[in-house]
Amino acid sequence: MSFIGKLSALSYQAIFKTAVWVRPPEQKPIALSPTSRVLCFTCAGIGDTLTDSVVFKALKETFSTSHVAAVVHRRRRALVEHNPYIDQVFTFQKAPLTVWHLSEELAAAGPWDAILQLRGNDPEPRCLSYMLNPDVTVSVPNMTRMGYLCGHHVIQPDWDDTHGVEQTLRIARYVGATTKVPQLVYQVRPDESALIEEKLRRLVITPRPRLVLQLGGGRRASWRDWPVERYAQLIRLIVKEDLKAEIFVLGGNDQLERLHELDGYFTSGAKPYHSLVGKLTLEESAALLASSWALVSTDTGIMHLGFAVGTRVVALIHCNNPVTRVGPYGYGDRHRVVQLPRPANYRTPADATMADITAQTVFLQLQDLAQTR
C-alpha cells in the first residue's frame, strides 16, 4: 500500500472508531423475504469478485423476487454486469468525495434489509455500510480490520483451510440463502461472442480447438507465475505431439515483458501461437475462454474467469495458496490441477518455486483433458 493509501486508511479508522464510540452497531435480526432489498459489497480483484458471484446466485435462488444490488470497484464492473442474479450495480472508487456521493446514492436506493460485506480490504466499503446501517451489516472478521463497524459477524475459525467459495457462501447462509450448485457466475453475451469471433478471424481461420495459455498474473504476487521457459517448453510439446490445438497466449499489459521473453524462444519461422497479450478487454477475454476447449493458467483472475464461463482448466497452483482454497470448486471432472508441493521448513512463497512444475507434467494433464473434447 502506498503512503497516501496508508494515510487514508488511518484517517478512516480514526474517524469511524470515534463514530462507533458515539453510536455502536447493534445486532438487529435479519429476516429476508421475497420482497427484501440486499446490498452486497464485493470490492476486490477479479478472482475474489468472481468467488463472490456465488453469493448473488444463492440470494436469488432462495429469494427469487428480492432486489439484490452490488457495490463493485469500477475496474471490476464488467464482472457483476455479467451476473444475471444482480439487479442493480453501484461502482466504488477510492476518493473521499466520490465515496461521499456513493453513500448518498446508496442511501437513496435503500433502505436495505441486509448489507453483506463480501471480499475487499479497503476501508471505504466498511465505512459506507456503517453509514447506511451497521445493525444489519454482516461481515467476516478474517476479511477486515474494521469488524467493529458491523453488527453481525460470521466467525470462521477454519478460514485458512476453507475454499474461497465456501468462505463466502457462509455469509449467504447466515442470512438464510443457499444454492445447490455453488459455481462461479459469468454470462458471456451473444454479441460479445460474435465480436471475438470476428476479431479472431483476422488472426486464424483453422477450425482446430482453441487452447489459451495465460502468461501470468499481476506483479504483486509474481511468485505464483510459471516461468516463461516452461510455457515455451509446453508449446513445443503441444506442437511435437500434435495435440491439434490453436494456441492463443493471453495476458494484460503487465505481461508484455514476459511475452517478449516467450517470443525469444521462437525466433525462426512462424510462431506456433497467436499473441493476444494486452489486446483484449476483460469481456473479450471471457468470450475467448468460453469459445475455447481449455485454458492453462496459474492462480490468476483469468483462471477463475475460466471456471466461471465453463471452459476446461489446467490450474497450476503454488503451495502458498493451495488448491483446497483457490482451485476449481463444484465442477465435476472438467478441470485438472497441478499443485506445487510444499517443501519442508516452508515459511514464505520464495521458499518454493513454480519452476519445479515441469512442462511434461502440464502436457500430460492437457492430454487427459483432450479426451473429453
Position 7 confidence tier, pLDDT thresholds 50, 70, 90: low
Position 10 confidence tier, pLDDT thresholds 50, 70, 90: confident
- Angle among Cα 28, 30, 33 to the nearest 5 degrees reads 150
Reported in sequence order, the residue ranges of the chain that DSSP labels E, i.e. its strands, are 37-42, 67-73, 88-92, 114-117, 137-139, 152-153, 210-214, 246-250, 274-275, 294-298, 312-317, 336-339
Please give the share of the chain, as a percent, with pLDDT higher than 70. 98
Q: Quickly count helices (H) and strands (E) in the chain.
A: 13, 12
pLDDT of 222 over the 70 cut? yes
* Mean predicted confidence (pLDDT) in 298-315: 96
Same domain, 202 and 143: no
Same domain, 56 and 138: yes
DSSP 357: S
| Mean pLDDT (the chain, rounded) | 93
pLDDT at 3: 47
Same domain, 234 and 342: yes
Query: 188-192 — which CB contacts under 8 Å span 24+ positions?
Result: 188/82, 188/283, 188/286, 188/287, 188/290, 188/309, 189/82, 192/283, 192/284, 192/286, 192/287
Please state, in angstroms and rounded to a whole number, the distance separating the CA atoms of residues 197 and 205: 10
- On whether the pTM is more than 0.85, the answer is yes
pLDDT of 16 over the 70 cut? yes
pLDDT at 13: 85
Same domain, 202 and 138: no
Same domain, 278 and 132: no
pLDDT of 373 over the 80 cut? no
pLDDT at 202: 85
Last residue of a domain, one of 174, 206, 229: 174
Strand partners, 103: none
In a domain, 184, yes or no: no
* Mean predicted confidence (pLDDT) in 308-321: 96
Please state, in angstroms and rounded to a whole number, the distance separating the CA atoms of residues 174 and 178: 9
Last residue of a domain, one of 124, 147, 174: 174
Same domain, 357 and 239: yes
pLDDT of 280 over the 90 cut? yes
In a domain, 94, yes or no: yes
Same domain, 202 and 168: no
Last residue of a domain, one of 146, 174, 202: 174
Q: The domain that contains 315 carries what CATH number?
A: 3.40.50.2000
Same domain, 213 and 354: yes
Domain range holding 229?
A: 190-370
Same domain, 25 and 113: yes
Q: Which helix (H) or strand (E) holds 123?
A: helix 123-132
Same domain, 36 and 167: yes
Same domain, 98 and 232: no
In a domain, 181, yes or no: no
In a domain, 348, yes or no: yes
* Mean predicted confidence (pLDDT) in 311-329: 94
Position 4 confidence tier, pLDDT thresholds 50, 70, 90: very low
Least confident of 25-29, 140-144, 166-170, 241-245: 140-144
In a domain, 183, yes or no: no
In a domain, 99, yes or no: yes
Position 268 confidence tier, pLDDT thresholds 50, 70, 90: confident
- How far, in whole angstroms, is CA 105 from its chain's centroid? 26
List, for residues 330-370, the tens digit of each pLDDT value.
Answer: 776 889 999 999 999 999 999 999 999 999 999 999 999 99
List, for residues 56-85, the tens digit of each pLDDT value.
Answer: 999 999 999 999 999 999 999 999 999 999
Please give the backbone phi and psi of residue 72, each rounded to the nearest 5 degrees, phi first: -135, 150
What residue type is 214 in one-letter code? Q
Coil, helix or strand at residue 298:
strand
In a domain, 180, yes or no: no
Position 2 confidence tier, pLDDT thresholds 50, 70, 90: low
pLDDT of 235 over the 90 cut? yes
Q: β-pairing, 210-214 with 336-339?
A: unpaired
pLDDT at 371: 87
Structural domain total, the chain: 2
List, for residues 212-221, the tens digit of each pLDDT value.
Answer: 999 998 777 8
* Mean predicted confidence (pLDDT) in 10-24: 90
Same domain, 132 and 219: no
